Amino acid sequence: MPDNLSGPSRVVAVANQKGGVGKTTTVINLATSLAVEGYRVLAVDVDPQGNLTSGLGLRGRRGDAGTIYEALLTEVAPDGCLLATQVENLSLIPADRNLTGAEIELVSVPVREHRLRRLIDPLRARFDCIFIDCPPSLGLLTLNALVAADAVLIPLHCEYFALEGLADLVATMRRVRSSLNPHLDIEGVLLTMYDERTNLGQLVARDVREFFKEKVFNTVIPRNVRLGEAPSHGIPAVLYDAKSRGAAAYVALAKEMLTRHAA
């Protein structure tokens, strides 16, 4: 097993309540980049849209014990929800449309904020890194992800409203730290859909770096057609077109993350 992530697996929730900022694209390609390097990686889809599941070519598939929906709302063995993907070393806990009702159904479940953690903790020994793809909201599903995670990776679209609403996510993280998960940290802020040709992109990037300081990854994800095309084929962009700028950026992000944890 590679050294950089040795020990208990690191659980990273990829979250931002704004939609269309690249959360799922980040989980797919970052997880794949690490898996290709030999790390044992698990991707967990907790977005009712199920884009992570379809982006990995497993739409409509379910484990022997079901999907993340059954895992959250019933007493199933965590192993029974795992699916192997086409990427060696990369496994998935899939989602489907049934998850749409989970926000309401979880309300009456005992210790409802810890349901995902109860599922993931027994799997830590099997993986080097676990990524949770969160829905674009701060509801119970995202709250479950924050309670289960060691850290949060925040993709941030380089646009005018990039920082709008981010205070809500940071405030939610503070509340989770104070009462449910005291060790929750920020893994990093990732600038996505960056266009260096525009003044706006440069200004947003500067503002974000001033606000979050060293928490912002040096790697920036550019606007790239291949990143948008790959999910329709059910193939990660880093495999669909490994030479594209988008794919290269995610490979660089994986290396930067490993370097941070090796320091």
Q: What percent of the chain has pLDDT over 70?
A: 97
CATH architecture of 10-262: 3-Layer(aba) Sandwich (3.40)
- Asked if 72 contacts 119 with a C-beta cutoff of 8 angstroms, the reply is yes
State the average pLDDT over residues 123-151.
Answer: 96
Res. 121: pLDDT tops 70: yes
The whole-model pTM stands at 0.94
Q: What is the Cα 245 distance to its own chain's centre?
A: 20
Tally Cβ neighbours within 10 Å of residue 92. Answer: 28
Distance separating alpha carbons of residues 228 and 51, to the nearest angstrom:
12
Q: Give the list of residues 6+ apart from residue 24 with CB closer than 8 angstroms, or none.
A: 47, 51, 52, 55, 133, 231
* Residue type for position 76: V
State the average pLDDT over residues 16-29.
Answer: 94
State the average pLDDT over residues 9-37.
Answer: 95
* Residue type for position 196: E
